[in-house]
Chains A and B, each alone.
Chain A
Amino acid sequence: MSAIHSPDTHAETVGRRIRYAASELTTMSGRSLRLVRRDPDELLISLVLPITIMLLFVYVFGGAIQSGTDYVTYATPGVILLCAGYGASNTAIAVNQDMTTGTMDRFRSMPIASAAVLVGHIVASVVKNLVTTAMVLGVAALIGFRPDANALEWLGAIAMIAGYILAITCLAAFVGVIVRGPAAAGGFGFFMLFAPYVSSAFVPPETMPSWLRGFAEQQPVTPVIETIRGLLVGLGSDAAPVTDLGGTAAIAVGWCAVFTVLGLVAASWAFARQRR
């Protein structure tokens, strides 16, 4: 009580607001993580689906694809991104659920930073997707994925993966805010699931028709894949040892940063605008 009645200095007020905002963020993240954990089916699907795709590629198409290396070694980075794409679509659905049920009204009518809801979902998604990434890597190792990376390269690869997850999760949050229902929110996952196919994730772009090849080589997923592959395996999509990994990584990080900022700005803009 005394805190309310004592005359606050400006610094005190600001300090308290920051502390409150931090606690609201951790509360919302905890909530989202708990919601993810309470849905083991979803977690299972987000794991089974990409792993099935990996097995399909490795054992069905793998023989026919000339990647120049053991195919599982070639395709694993792509499968990790597929997995992240699917995970992000679940984030879009979770955000949308909060937006379209009474939940958002409740939060917005409270004296809290209600955009913390979005950040909570993003944090939970990144954590969840890092876990599924680890599992995909485990399965890949079982079927012959042999990375050739030192600790530093591993760290870099994980950071790149986390950056990609963050970027598409922020886009997913935006999608979750603007679409009208869970079906449309899920559509985002469909898109994200396909984006890596037209990249160097599963087949070397050199094998594509020239018009598609141009797109596949330039689109954002490709530098991300090349960076992860370069760090973990030390090879490029043409099976030659990587050259200029630094330059590729810079482009990949740039893309991720752009999409993260774009997603965050768009999501918070749409979020604020919802108060019609």
Chain B
Amino acid sequence: MPPDPLVVARGLRKSYGTARRPVTVLDGVDLTLHRGEVLALLGPNGAGKTTTVRILSTLLRPDAGTATVAGHDLLTAPARVREVISLTGQYAAVDEKLSGRENLAVMGRLAHLPRRTARRRVDELLDAFDLGDAADRRISTYSGGMRRRLDLAAGLLRRPQVLFLDEPTTGLDPRSRQTMWEVIRDVIAEGTSLFLTTQYLEEADQLAHRIALIDGGRVVAEGTPEELKRRVGDAGVELTFATAALAATSAAALAEHGATHEGDVVRLPTDGSLAHVRSLLTAIEKAGVTPEHWEVRAPTLDDVFLTLTGRAARARDTDPSDQEAAA
């Protein structure tokens, strides 16, 4: 399939604050989403994800830069853009006092679907989003996960070409997150192109074809999840020792397994498979090494930023420097 750019953003800039003391939120963002693709905009709190989504979904005017969606210019033809997009924002847009079905019915009427088509589509969505049993209950009785699913369904009465999803699982427990991912995968499978934002590397890895890393209002790295992970490295078995000296000797004993140490922590890279972790644990035992504590740790957003930008993500600016000062 030849790449068919659906969302193209070039040099998006946005600042808040006064003319004299502007606070730059977006500092020249370039992004492309191709038809049929899932792009994850990955970044910490305050990186500019929501601002980007609000600009691309016609809610906010950029100070500079251009963007088109399905060939329509955001600035000159926002009405056209709205016909092909759907937005599910970071904050739920459902009416608490109405039931799930009533919420969707309102959206069906606003989509100008014929009555019967609308009813059928509402049932279809309630089913697909695993909300059939709760359909006639008020949203105020829904769990966080159910609410997010209904919010997503409310944007899908008419099938959009591009779906914008702003942090769909932030604040959800692991199980609700899994369910949400399944629902999102179903939507993707129907051929909807997805522009996703997230703070979780795992979420981007699970759902996206391509990841754009955003930090301080700039896209600082871009690639497939595989490319990024290859650059960041695999998961690791981490051993914590009582003293840094003990960690150093233990790392030497485990050198053939690629052990590295930093402070009182020794890290052994692994692909995370059961077999490999087991073999590592056996090797550790054989080496007679006795850590206080151990865990298998997947690379996190922090690791990604540290590796790809050489520093921690902006939102955490103060923490690492404190640690450096202490070290």
A interface list, Cβ under 8 A from B: 20, 23-24, 27, 30-31, 34-35, 38-39, 101-103, 105-112, 275-276
B294 CB to nearest chain A CB (Å): 42
Contacts of B58 on A, CB cut-off 8 Å?
108-109
In the complex, B87 has a CB within 8 A of chain A: yes
CB pair A102 B91 closer than 8 Å: yes
B interface list, Cβ under 8 A from A: 54, 57-61, 79, 82-83, 85-95, 97-98, 102, 106, 109-112, 138, 151, 154-155, 164
A142 CB to nearest chain B CB (Å): 32
CB pair A35 B97 closer than 8 Å: yes
Contacts of A27 on B, CB cut-off 8 Å?
106, 109-110
Contacts of A102 on B, CB cut-off 8 Å?
89-93, 151
CB pair B112 A20 closer than 8 Å: yes
CB pair B89 A105 closer than 8 Å: yes
**Shortest Cβ distance from B106 into A: residue:** A31
CB pair A106 B98 closer than 8 Å: no
When A105-B54, A105-B87, A106-B154 are in contact, do A112 and B59 touch as well, CB less than 8 Å?
A: no
CB pair B87 A109 closer than 8 Å: yes
CB pair A35 B98 closer than 8 Å: yes
Contacts of A31 on B, CB cut-off 8 Å?
95, 98, 106
**Shortest Cβ distance from B98 into A: residue:** A34
B313 CB to nearest chain A CB (Å): 25
Contacts of B97 on A, CB cut-off 8 Å?
34-35, 38-39
Question: Which of B57, B83, B95, B138 neighbours the largest number of chain A CB atoms within 10 Å of its CB?
Answer: B95
Partner of A23, one of B57, B88, B90, B112: B112
**Shortest Cβ distance from B84 into A: residue:** A111
A86 CB to nearest chain B CB (Å): 20
When A35-B98, A101-B93, A102-B93 are in contact, do A109 and B82 touch as well, CB less than 8 Å?
A: yes
The 8 A-B residue pairs with the shortest CB-CB distance in the complex, in nearest-first order: A102-B93, A106-B93, A38-B97, A102-B91, A109-B87, A111-B82, A27-B109, A102-B89
CB pair B155 A106 closer than 8 Å: yes
A41 CB to nearest chain B CB (Å): 11
Question: Which of A101, A103, A111 neighbours the largest number of chain B CB atoms within 10 Å of its CB?
Answer: A111
15 residue pairs of the A-B complex, CB under 8 angstroms, read A23-B109, A31-B95, A35-B95, A35-B98, A38-B97, A38-B98, A102-B89, A102-B151, A105-B59, A105-B87, A106-B88, A106-B93, A109-B86, A111-B79, A111-B83
CB pair A101 B112 closer than 8 Å: no
Contacts of B102 on A, CB cut-off 8 Å?
34
When A106-B89, A275-B61 are in contact, do A112 and B110 touch as well, CB less than 8 Å?
A: yes
CB pair B93 A105 closer than 8 Å: yes
B139 CB to nearest chain A CB (Å): 11
A98 CB to nearest chain B CB (Å): 9
Contacts of A107 on B, CB cut-off 8 Å?
93, 110
CB pair A101 B61 closer than 8 Å: no
Whole-angstrom distance between the alpha carbons of A38 and B112 in the complex? 25
Whole-angstrom distance between the alpha carbons of A276 and B54 in the complex? 11
CB pair A109 B98 closer than 8 Å: no
Contacts of B110 on A, CB cut-off 8 Å?
24, 27, 107, 110, 112
